[in-house]
């Protein structure tokens, strides 16, 4: 498999802060890489460098075989970029926006128009296609922006926080769209501060903080790295709590927590579902009636917390920070 | 050669986008045009009576004198539109999209300044009509009049590159509107646009004589035949050769501001 994105030692300094402190990234063809990090971690800077918007102070980057420093124009022909806020012209219609982008990719008049109609169809914007974008909802704008990135069917896509500012439903719809896109074989670099989003979409995740990588792996690998897998059992009869504890003790890798009041037992384990199955069989063999059972795995939030020592996103959401443009938050973070 | 054609083609695509915007949001025109119309009325009927362009001249003479100055002011104000448009594009992130596309680096600026020629053309036409209503007239040939309008639009084009550069530097549309006032007020008022230069104190008079707004106004006045009868002959070289001097300024502005604006566009970080 060839690597469609290869960056090594990327450094970008602003006056007082270092936005990127030596970042390496490798994305093989057809892979979705999630670049995960809190505000100000350097995600947008990384994407800006790879999409030729920004020159790195140090380091090299190749995108689809072209050097971002030496041949930025070749890179631009091979990439599609969709940013944090929908970069579409609100006075133009959806069709005019896509047609304009096609013309600027030099697809020619006929092909640009065809492609614009085709994409409006794919993104469920056919009806709204001839209306000015200012009449669109946030989700529609975001879809149009994403469509803009796909006009030239580029082999490499950069999506910078594609779902920031969307309501949960639009977000789930957008994820479906992105999944379909990837099925067609595009290589995708996706930045996000939503841990769930990386979990849902990315094959491979690089967690960054303060401009450098702090962890790398699949969502599963990252969760395993942190550990914290546990079985949660609720027994039907309070008399069964103690025998159940005896059974679980054989599988537990730590202390079992018992809540007599709710007849619940929580046992930390290692080994995932097979261990759960075995434990259930044992419980059954001892005649213990189980009312509820679950294997609780660590979420990426747990991963994030244990890696960075701070929670990714909750603080932003709880103080109403959503209303601000993500970029402003990021700048604030950087200038601190 | 083909690279140049691509660059021009890309510029045309961007220009088309801007023209669509003028068509869809004509309100923008209204606001930018209101102030020059107010200036015409203010100077023609309020201050005009107190300004002597030639000894003992009736008020109609001042109104005729005034319109060339107002036209020069209109195209200078029109350039603000270029800067504001670019600042707006920067703010909304569209510049980022353009910069990620394999289009010519000059296209966004060429497209913007070109579409603003149309915008300036509309403004100049409306101002000329307002002028006719207050008693202005062209007293020369069609050719000379056409040259006069051509010179106005050419200067407008060059000056819009200055504001394009400013638009790429400032952080927001609000700032550009304030910043451009700081530039536009002195250069349009310390000139012969509204008053005869003989009335200014010496240092200001020298500034005004070499101010391109004065030479543009003087050139247009000559081309329209609006020099008041009995007005003193200008003594400064720029005003004796206003067309040449204005053309020199147009070239100087373009030579400086086209490259530095394009360079600024390449580096313009998103905000």
State the pLDDT confidence band at A310, using cuts at 50, 70 and 90.
low
B94, closest residue in chain A (CA to CA): A87
ipTM of the complex: 0.85
Chain A partners within 8 Å of B20 (Cβ): 91-92, 96
Q: Which of A95-99, A139-143, A249-253, B76-80 has the highest mean pLDDT?
A: A95-99
Chain B partners within 8 Å of A331 (Cβ): 271
| CB-based contact A89 B271, cutoff 8 Å | no
Note down pLDDT in tens along chain B; length 271 residues: 588 889 999 999 999 999 998 889 888 778 767 877 888 888 888 887 778 776 667 777 888 889 999 999 999 988 888 998 898 888 888 888 899 999 998 999 999 999 999 889 988 998 899 899 988 889 999 999 999 999 999 999 999 999 999 999 887 888 888 888 888 888 999 999 888 888 889 899 999 999 999 999 999 999 999 888 878 888 899 999 999 999 999 999 999 999 999 999 988 754 4
In three-state secondary structure terms, B201 is coil
Chain A, window 277-306: residues with a beta carbon less than 8 angstroms from a chain B beta carbon = none
CB A165 within 8 A of CB A197: no
Is the domain covering A228-296 a CATH 3.30.70.920 domain?
yes
Q: State residue A309's pLDDT score.
A: 67
Segments making up each domain of chain B, as ranges:
15-267
Whether pLDDT at A3 is above 50: yes
Domain range A3-224, CATH class: alpha beta
Q: A91 at the B interface (CB within 8 A)?
A: yes
Which range (A151-155, A254-258, B137-141) has the least confidence?
A254-258
Q: State residue A65's pLDDT score.
A: 92
A298 vs B132, residue with greater confidence: B132
For an interface test with A, which of B96, B97, B104, B115 has the most A Cβ atoms less than 10 Å from its Cβ?
A: B97
Q: State residue A164's pLDDT score.
A: 78
Whether pLDDT at A334 is above 70: no
From B18's Cα to the closest Cα of chain A, the distance in A is 9
Chain B partners within 8 Å of A104 (Cβ): 10, 13-14, 98, 101-103, 107
Q: State residue A59's pLDDT score.
A: 94
| CB-based contact A101 B101, cutoff 8 Å | yes
Mean pLDDT of the region A319-331: 37
Chain A partners within 8 Å of B99 (Cβ): 52-53
Q: State residue A319's pLDDT score.
A: 36
Whether pLDDT at A85 is above 70: no
Whether pLDDT at A92 is above 50: yes
Q: A76 at the B interface (CB within 8 A)?
A: yes
Q: Do the bridges between strand A156-160 and strand A187-192 make them parallel or antiparallel, or are there none, so unpaired?
A: parallel
| CB-based contact A76 B100, cutoff 8 Å | yes
From A69's Cα to the closest Cα of chain B, the distance in A is 13
Chain A partners within 8 Å of B107 (Cβ): 104
Segments making up each domain of chain A, as ranges:
3-224, 228-296
Q: State residue A40's pLDDT score.
A: 82
State the pLDDT confidence band at A331, using cuts at 50, 70 and 90.
very low
Mean pLDDT of the region A40-54: 90
In three-state secondary structure terms, B195 is coil
Distance CA A177, CA A211 (A): 29
Chain A partners within 8 Å of B17 (Cβ): 89, 92, 96, 100
Residue A113: both structure tokens together: 């128009």
What's the per-residue H, E or C state across chain A? CCEEEEEEEEEEECCCCEEEEEEEEEEECCCEEEEECCCCCCHHHHHHHHCCCCCCCEEEEEECCEECCCCHHHHHHHEEEECCCCCCCCCCEHHHHHHHHHHHCCCCHHHHHHHHHHHHHHCCCCCCCCCEHHHCCHHHHHHHHHHHHHCCCCCEEEEECCCCCCCHHHHHHHHHHHHHHHHCCCEEEEEECCHHHHHHHCCEEEEEECCEEEEEECHHHHHHHHCCCEEEEEECCHHHHHHHHHHHHCCCCCCCEEECCCCEEEEECCCCHHHHHHHHHHHHHCCCCEEEEEEECCCHHHHHHHHHCCCCCHHHHHCCHHHCCHHHHHHHHHHC
């Amino acid at each position: 498999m060839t690597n469609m994105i290869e960056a090594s030692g990327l450094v970008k300094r602003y006056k007082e802060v270092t936005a990127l402190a030596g970042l390496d990234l490798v994305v093989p063809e057809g892979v979705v890489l999630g670049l995960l990090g809190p505000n100000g971690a350097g995600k947008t800077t990384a994407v800006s460098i790879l999409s030729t918007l920004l020159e790195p102070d140090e380091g090299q980057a190749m995108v689809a075989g072209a050097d971002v420093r030496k041949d930025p124009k070749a890179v631009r022909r091979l990439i599609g970029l969709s940013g944090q806020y929908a970069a579409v012209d609100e006075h133009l219609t959806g069709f005019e926006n896509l047609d304009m982008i096609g013309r600027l990719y030099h697809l020619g008049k006929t092909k640009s128009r065809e492609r614009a109609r085709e994409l409006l169809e794919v993104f469920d914007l056919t009806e709204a296609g001839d209306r000015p974008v200012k009449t669109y909802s946030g989700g529609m704008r975001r879809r149009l922006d994403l469509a803009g990135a796909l006009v030239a069917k580029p082999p490499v896509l950069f999506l910078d926080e594609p779902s920031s500012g969307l309501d949960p439903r639009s977000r789930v719809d957008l994820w479906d769209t992105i999944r379909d896109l990837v099925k067609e074989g595009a290589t995708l670099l996706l930045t996000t501060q939503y841990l769930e989003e990386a979990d849902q979409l990315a094959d491979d995740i690089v967690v960054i903080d303060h401009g450098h990588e702090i962890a790398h792996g699949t969502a599963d690998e990252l969760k395993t790295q942190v550990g914290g897998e546990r079985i949660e059992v609720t027994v039907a009869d309070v008399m069964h709590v103690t025998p159940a504890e005896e059974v679980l003790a054989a599988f537990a890798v730590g202390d079992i927590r018992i809540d007599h009041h709710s007849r619940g037992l929580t046992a930390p384990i290692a080994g995932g579902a097979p261990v759960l199955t075995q434990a259930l069989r044992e419980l059954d063999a001892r005649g213990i009636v189980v009312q509820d059972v679950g294997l609780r795995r660590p979420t990426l939030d747990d991963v994030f917390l244990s890696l960075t020592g701070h929670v990714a996103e909750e603080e932003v959401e709880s103080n109403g920070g959503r209303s601000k443009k993500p970029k402003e938050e990021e700048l604030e973070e950087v200038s601190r | 050669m083909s690279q140049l054609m691509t660059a021009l083609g890309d510029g045309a695509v961007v220009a088309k986008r801007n023209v669509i915007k003028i068509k869809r949001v004509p309100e923008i025109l209204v606001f930018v045009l209101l102030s020059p119309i107010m200036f015409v009325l203010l100077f023609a009927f309020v201050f005009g009576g107190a300004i002597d362009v030639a000894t003992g001249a009736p008020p109609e003479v001042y109104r005729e004198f005034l319109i060339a100055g107002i036209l020069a002011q209109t195209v200078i104000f029109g350039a603000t539109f270029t800067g504001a448009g670019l600042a707006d594009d920067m703010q909304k992130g569209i510049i980022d999209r353009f910069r990620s596309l394999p289009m010519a680096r000059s296209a966004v600026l060429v497209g913007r300044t070109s579409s603003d020629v149309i915008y300036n053309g509309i403004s100049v036409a409306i101002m000329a009509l307002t002028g006719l209503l207050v008693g202005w007239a062209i007293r020369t040939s069609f050719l000379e009049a056409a040259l006069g309008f051509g010179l106005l639009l050419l200067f407008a084009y060059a000056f819009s590159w200055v504001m394009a550069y400013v638009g790429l530097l400032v952080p927001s549309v609000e700032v550009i509107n304030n910043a451009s006032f700081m530039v536009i007020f002195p250069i349009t008022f310390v000139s012969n646009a509204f008053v005869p230069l003989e009335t200014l104190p010496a240092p200001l008079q020298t500034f005004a004589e070499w101010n391109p707004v004065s030479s543009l106004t003087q050139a247009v006045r000559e081309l329209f035949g609006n020099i008041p009868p009995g007005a003193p002959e200008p003594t400064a070289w720029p005003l004796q050769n206003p067309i040449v001097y204005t053309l020199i300024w147009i070239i100087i502005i373009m030579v400086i501001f086209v490259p530095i604006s394009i360079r600024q566009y390449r580096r313009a970080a998103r905000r």
